[in-house]
Amino acid sequence: MVGSSCCTDRIRATLYPVMDFLALDFETATSQPDSPCELGIAVVRGDVVREVRNWLIKPRCWPHFSPWNVSVHGITARDVADAPGWEEVWEEASALIEGATVVAHNAAFDMGVLRGTLASHRLDHPAFNYFCSVSMARRRWPGHRSYGLKPMCDLHGIALRHHRAGNDAEATAELVLRAAGTHAFPDIGDFLRDTRLNTGAFWPGGHRTPGGKVTPVLV
Between CA 13 and CA 20 the distance in angstroms is 13
In a domain, 3, yes or no: no
What domain count does the chain have?
1
Residue 18 — very low, low, confident or very high, per pLDDT cuts 50/70/90? confident
pLDDT in tens, 70-84: 999 999 999 999 999
Q: Is residue 128 part of a domain?
A: yes
Residue 93: domain span: 15-198
Which residues are registered as beta bridge partners of 130? 102, 200
Mean pLDDT of 75-95: 98
* Mean pLDDT value across residues 199-214: 97
Position 213 in a domain: no
The per-residue pLDDT for 184 is 80
> For 131-176, what is each residue's pLDDT tens digit?
999 999 999 999 999 999 999 999 999 999 888 999 999 999 999 9
- Domain at 162, CATH number: 3.30.420.10
Residue 36: inside a domain: yes
pLDDT higher than 70, residue 214: yes
Query: How distant is the alpha carbon of residue 169 from its chain centre?
Result: 7
For residue 188, give Cα distances in angstroms to 19, 38, 46: 5, 26, 10
Q: Is residue 219 part of a domain?
A: no
Please tell me the predicted confidence (pLDDT) of residue 174: 97
pLDDT at position 197 is 96
In a domain, 218, yes or no: no
**What is the band of 9 on the pLDDT scale with cuts at 50, 70, 90?**
very low
Please tell me the total number of residues recorded for the chain in this structure: 219
For the cut 90, the answer to whether the pLDDT of residue 182 exceeds it is no
Q: How confident is the model at residue 219 (pLDDT cuts 50, 70, 90)?
A: low
pLDDT digits (tens, 9 = 90+) for 102-116: 999 999 999 999 999
pLDDT at residue 10 greater than cutoff 60:
no
| Domain contains 204 | no
User: How many whole angstroms separate alpha carbon 179 and alpha carbon 47?
Assistant: 12
Q: b or e along 170-195 (b: 16 or more beta carbons within 10 Å of the residue's beta carbon)?
A: bbbbbbbbbbbeeeebbebebbbeeb
The reply to whether 152 falls in a domain is yes
What DSSP line would sit under the chain, residue for residue? -HHHHHHHHHHHHHHS----EEEEEEEESSSSTT-EEEEEEEEEETTEEEEEEEEE---TTTT---HHHHHHH---TGGGTTS--HHHHHHHHHHHHTT-EEEETTHHHHHHHHHHHHHHTT-----EEEEEHHHHHHHHSTT-S---HHHHHHHHT----TT-HHHHHHHHHHHHHHHHTT---SSHHHHHHHHT---EEEETTEEE-TT--EEEPP-
